[in-house]
């Protein structure tokens, strides 16, 4: 730690705190512009900037900082190092000038007495109120605090090319990082959890397509889709294909798997990953929106349709803490319209006896249960299949009731929600709620 690192981190953070685009993009851009930085310096800058993003609201209060001034961004960093990292003023001596030492003394003496629960939970008031209404204050606080932690690095073994035992044995044999615990994931049969965040992108197992980086919760969603060999499967919001590739592996490279998305950039990324994966049953198609005419000829054709809907992402705050500050209640309301529309379109693609699986990485009822309930009301030709039943059939011991609901503090995954609907009969145009 020195004053140059402090200055560089403050500059990065200042940019991130404009909140006009995702923090991970800003971080990559910053490192591209500062190629002179070594591995340790990069790690320190990234951890400190993300540490501040995780605790931004609390740190502002404790340091009485205004984020739009360079100086105050340094105050936020100081507050983070002292209050969250537990550094003493002496630890920081090398990086502080006289003025900053004065700030440090002030910050050190400040307590959180009188701070509201939302400040202590480090979220915006609207989000806090919604979480309290859903979970009660104690659990809402536990959920928010669990999001202060860094997420683990989870890998999915691509069973087209390797077994979990083989990959685990190799990872363990190669492990030279002290205290790096490498284990199988508790629920996903193809997951491996790494204690320390290695640069997996350069690992031979990755370049050979034997592993992919994927949160265990996301891996489990493909088991909830439960595609069978030879089936017709659509991933309607495939993005860069995290779940698509997992589905392809579960289908053992048989049947037909369609990946649709409105983002060309994401589908291009899927293309790169597809090459590594060894899958040949997958076809990616760019669509303008869920009503694209390209989808029309596929109506009633699919055994499984996954809607991994665009959502607030508020279940992924361990990885994307900036979303806490970037998402608004208005954004969620706009997403709700999209979510319902895409889900309704998915229903048309599904054949009788087939299933539509609706998923989000949000914790909010508005994006989850409310969308699922409204869908069932408007689609009497579909019934809810309990997620616990599907998981049991997949030999996965995870019973969260009718819906699959994963939470960081309970399952060690990102926050995910999913519902399974089965089409029991042909749609009727008169199908409307009473």
Ligand X SMILES: C[S@@+](CC[C@H](N)C(=O)[O-])C[C@H]1O[C@@H](n2cnc3c(N)ncnc32)[C@H](O)[C@@H]1O
Binding site for ligand X (CB under 6 A): 218, 236-243, 260-263, 266, 287, 289-290, 308, 310, 338, 342
Length of the chain: 434
Tell which residue, 362, 6, 418, 56, has the closest CA to residue 222: 418
Q: Annotation-wise, does 429 bind a ligand?
A: no
Nearer to ligand X, 266 or 324 (CB): 266
Beta strand spans in 165-271 (E): 182-184, 191-194, 211-213, 232-235, 256-261
Nearer to ligand X, 26 or 266 (CB): 266
Per annotation, catalytic residue among 144, 311, 350, 361: 361
- Distance, CA of 56 to CA of 61 (rounded, Å): 9
- Residue 47 buriedness (CB in 10 A; 0-12 / 13-18 / 19+): middle
Tell which residue, 392, 334, 314, has the closest CA to residue 143: 314
Q: Annotation-wise, does 129 bind a ligand?
A: no
In terms of phi and psi (left: phi > 0; alpha: psi -120 to 50; beta: otherwise), the region of 230 is: left
- Distance, CA of 327 to CA of 176 (rounded, Å): 40
In the complex, what is the shortest distance from the CB of residue 218 to ligand X, in angstroms, rounded to a whole number? 6
In the complex, what is the shortest distance from the CB of residue 119 to ligand X, in angstroms, rounded to a whole number? 29
Nearer to ligand X, 192 or 221 (CB): 221
- Is 361 an active-site residue? yes
In the complex, what is the shortest distance from the CB of residue 208 to ligand X, in angstroms, rounded to a whole number? 21
In the complex, what is the shortest distance from the CB of residue 260 to ligand X, in angstroms, rounded to a whole number? 6
Strand (E) or helix (H) holding 131: helix 125-135
C-alpha distance from residue 98 to each of 11, 75, 106 (Å): 20, 13, 13
Nearer to ligand X, 21 or 116 (CB): 21
Q: Which residues are catalytic?
A: 361
The binding site for S-adenosyl-L-methionine comprises: 261, 308
């Amino acid at each position: 730690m020195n004053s140059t690192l402090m200055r560089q981190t403050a500059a990065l953070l200042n940019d991130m705190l404009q909140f006009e685009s995702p923090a991970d993009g800003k971080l990559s851009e910053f490192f591209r512009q500062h190629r002179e930085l070594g591995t340790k310096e990069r790690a320190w800058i990234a951890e400190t900037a993300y540490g501040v993003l995780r605790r931004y609201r609390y740190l502002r209060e404790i340091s009485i900082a205004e984020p739009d001034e360079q100086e105050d961004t340094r105050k936020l960093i100081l507050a983070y190092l002292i209050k969250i990292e537990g550094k003493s003023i002496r630890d920081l001596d090398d990086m502080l000038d006289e003025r900053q030492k004065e700030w440090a003394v002030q910050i050190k003496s400040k307590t959180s007495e009188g701070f509201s629960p939302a400040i202590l939970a480090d979220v915006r008031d609207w989000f806090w109120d919604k979480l309290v209404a859903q979970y009660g204050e104690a659990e809402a606080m536990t959920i928010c605090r669990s999001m202060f932690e860094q997420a683990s690095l989870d890998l999915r073994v691509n069973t087209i090319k390797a077994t979990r035992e083989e990959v685990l044995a190799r990872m363990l044999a190669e492990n030279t990082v002290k205290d790096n615990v490498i284990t199988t994931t508790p629920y996903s049969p193809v997951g491996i959890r790494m204690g320390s965040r290695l640069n997996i992108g350069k690992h031979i197992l990755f370049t050979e397509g034997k592993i992919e980086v994927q949160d265990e919760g996301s891996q489990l969603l493909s088991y909830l889709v439960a595609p069978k060999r030879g089936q017709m499967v659509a991933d309607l919001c495939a993005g860069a294909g995290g779940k698509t590739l997992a589905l392809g592996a579960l289908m053992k490279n048989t049947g037909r798997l369609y990946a649709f998305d409105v983002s060309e950039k994401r589908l291009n990324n899927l293309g790169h990953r597809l090459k590594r994966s060894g899958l040949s049953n997958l076809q990616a198609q760019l669509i303008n929106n869920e009503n694209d005419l390209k989808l029309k000829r596929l109506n009633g054709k699919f055994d499984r349709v996954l809607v991994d809907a665009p959502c607030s992402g508020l279940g992924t705050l361990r990885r994307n803490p900036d979303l806490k500050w970037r998402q608004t209640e208005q954004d969620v309301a706009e997403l709700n319209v999209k979510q319902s529309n895409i889900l309704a379109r998915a229903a048309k693609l599904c054949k009788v006896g087939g299933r539509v699986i609706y998923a989000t990485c949000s914790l909010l009822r508005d994006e989850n249960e409310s969308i699922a309930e409204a869908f069932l009301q408007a689609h009497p030709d579909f019934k809810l299949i309990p997620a616990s039943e599907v998981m049991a059939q997949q030999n996965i011991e995870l019973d969260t009731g009718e819906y699959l609901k994963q939470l960081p503090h309970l399952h060690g995954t990102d926050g995910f929600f999913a519902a399974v609907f089965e089409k029991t009969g042909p749609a009727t145009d008169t199908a409307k709620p009473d």
